[in-house]
Amino acid sequence: MSLSKLKRIHVIIIGAVLCVIAGVALFFFAIKPRNEAYKAAEDRYNAAKDLGNQVAEDKAIRDLNDAIVQNNNAQQALDAQMRRRMPDLSFSRRDTGMLALWKEQIKSLGPLLESFARDKTVNVIGATFPIPPPPVNPNSDIFDREMLEFPLGNVQAMGDFKSLMNNIRRWNNCRRLVMVGPPVLAGTSPRLVVAYPLTCYIFPVAKGGPAIPMAGTGQGQSAQAF
Sequence ranges of the domains in the chain: 3-202
CA nearest neighbour of 175 among 83, 43, 54: 83
What's the pLDDT score for residue 38? 73
| Mean pLDDT along residues 52-81 | 75
CA nearest neighbour of 69 among 34, 36, 44: 34
Question: pLDDT tens across 105-143, in order?
Answer: 989 998 999 999 999 999 998 778 888 888 999 999 999
What's the pLDDT score for residue 217? 53
| pLDDT greater at residue 80 or residue 48 | 80
Question: pLDDT tens across 80-99, in order?
Answer: 877 888 898 999 999 999 99
Taking the whole predicted model, whether its pTM rises above 0.75 is answered as: no
What's the pLDDT score for residue 9? 46
What's the pLDDT score for residue 57? 67
> Is residue 144's pLDDT more than 70?
yes
| Mean pLDDT along residues 42-60 | 69
87, 112 in Cβ contact below 8 A?
no
| Mean pLDDT along residues 43-65 | 71
Task: Give CA 72 to chain center in angstroms.
Answer: 20
Count of positions (residues) in the chain: 226
| Mean pLDDT along residues 29-38 | 70
The CATH label, of 3.30.70.60, 3.40.50.880, 3.90.600.10, 3.40.50.1820, for the domain at 3-202 is 3.30.70.60
What's the pLDDT score for residue 206? 92
Question: pLDDT tens across 164-223, in order?
Answer: 989 998 988 889 988 888 888 888 878 899 999 898 989 899 999 999 988 765 444 444
> Is residue 18's pLDDT more than 80?
no
What's the pLDDT score for residue 7? 47
- C-alpha distances (whole Å) from 14 to each of 64, 101, 123, 164, 166 are 39, 34, 19, 10, 11
